[in-house]
A and B are shown apart, each in its own frame.
Chain A
Amino acid sequence: MISLSSYLVISLFLFLCGITVMIARKNIIAILLGIELILNASALNFVAYSRFGHNNIDGHIMALFIIVIAAAEAAVGLAIAIRYFQNRETIHIDSATQLQS
């Protein structure tokens, strides 16, 4: 018996895992992994509500846009991380403390 709350609990768990990864990891790319988990949790939420609550297709379209935006943001974020590594030779997040090098 699957109801809406089971999907909500799963997306809550994914969200919490994503936040934990964002807070506790010190590698820039690991932080981007956490961001992907968070975005997936919200997309799952949208699709679950569209199926159980409103029974229309708008939640699916929102999930598509979330996937698109997450891909674009991952690309740009990783490009910045690579450039940062080329300049500083490290990707530890605690060394990125100054606005001007």
Chain B
Amino acid sequence: MFLNVVFSLSALLTVSGALMVVVTRNLIHSCVFLLMSLLGIVGLYVTLNADFVAATQLVVYVGGVIVLMLFAVMLTGGNNTKEVLSRFGFESLPLMGNVKTYFWGILSAITMMSVAGNLIYRVAQSSLASVLEQYKSSVDEIGTKLLTDHVLSFEISSILLLGALVGAAIIARPLGSKQLNEEK
């Protein structure tokens, strides 16, 4: 019963957060609603017995990525709501095609939705039991698997992070005086 309550609350948080990210115009509000959505996803992971993944999501996303996004919003001029909205803003989407485009588009959308609906229906019919088995923490298993079965991906991801760290630091570095003189 607790599982249903936690699942409903987390799902509500996630879905409403994602919807508000789409709808709000203010960029900082979008970041805050993304934060809300990510907290909802943490709750969903908890209901799936994925406690380590939930904690990692909390540390990395909430503590890292959101703060990074907020800093970037501040450093790129903030969200000036007083600027003139161009013709191609979210408020006025362009027409994006004529009757033929829309006909083929709607036909393919119906096809894809029916395929997806079929898949979901079949999965919903034959899903495994949703009764919670004996809870055991996933930390030990994940640690073992990371260093035995998936050690190559582990090491490559560490090199990827090193590359991202150095790359981001170099790309966003303020221009040195030599470069400024060259541009003049």
Q: Which of B116, B142, B164 contacts A61 (CB 8 A)?
A: B142
**B contact residues around A86 at 8 Å (CB):** 174-175
**A contact residues around B21 at 8 Å (CB):** 17, 21, 33-34, 37
**B contact residues around A85 at 8 Å (CB):** 75-77
A26 to B92, CA, bound (A): 12
Interchain CB contact under 8 A, A57 and B138: yes
Q: Residue A96 at the B interface, CB < 8 A? A: no
Interface residues on A, range: 35 or more
**B contact residues around A4 at 8 Å (CB):** 123-124, 127-128
Interchain CB contact under 8 A, A8 and B76: no
Interchain CB contact under 8 A, A71 and B75: no
**B contact residues around A7 at 8 Å (CB):** 44, 48
Which chain A residues (1-36) contact chain B, with CB distance < 8 Å? 1-10, 12-14, 17-18, 20-21, 24-30, 32-34, 36
**B contact residues around A79 at 8 Å (CB):** 167-169, 171-172
A75 to B3, CA, bound (A): 35
Taking A55-B128, A71-B64, A71-B65 as contacts, is the C-beta distance between A29 and B73 under 8 angstroms? yes
Which B residue's beta carbon lies closest to that of A68?
A: B157
The DSSP consensus for interface residues of chain A is helix
**A contact residues around B34 at 8 Å (CB):** 33, 36-37
B residues lining the A interface (CB < 8 Å):
3-4, 7, 11, 14-15, 18-19, 21-22, 27, 30-31, 34, 37-38, 41, 44-45, 47-50, 52-53, 56-57, 60-61, 64-65, 68-69, 71-73, 75-77, 79, 86, 88-90, 93, 116, 120, 123-124, 127-128, 130, 138, 141-142, 145-146, 149-150, 153, 157, 160-161, 163-165, 167-169, 171-172, 174-175
Q: Which of B15, B52, B77 contacts A13 (CB 8 A)?
A: B15
Interchain CB contact under 8 A, A65 and B153: yes
Least CB distance, A35 to chain B, in whole angstroms: 11
**B contact residues around A64 at 8 Å (CB):** 52-53, 56, 142, 146
Interchain CB contact under 8 A, B130 and A2: yes
A78 to B65, CA, bound (A): 10
A46 to B30, CA, bound (A): 26
Interchain CB contact under 8 A, B157 and A60: no
Taking A26-B88, A36-B34, A71-B60 as contacts, is the C-beta distance between A91 and B65 under 8 angstroms? no
Interchain CB contact under 8 A, B7 and A72: no
Q: Which of A20, A26, A70, A78 contacts B86 (CB 8 A)?
A: A26
A83 to B174, CA, bound (A): 8
Which B residue's beta carbon lies closest to that of A57?
A: B141
Least CB distance, B102 to chain A, in whole angstroms: 16
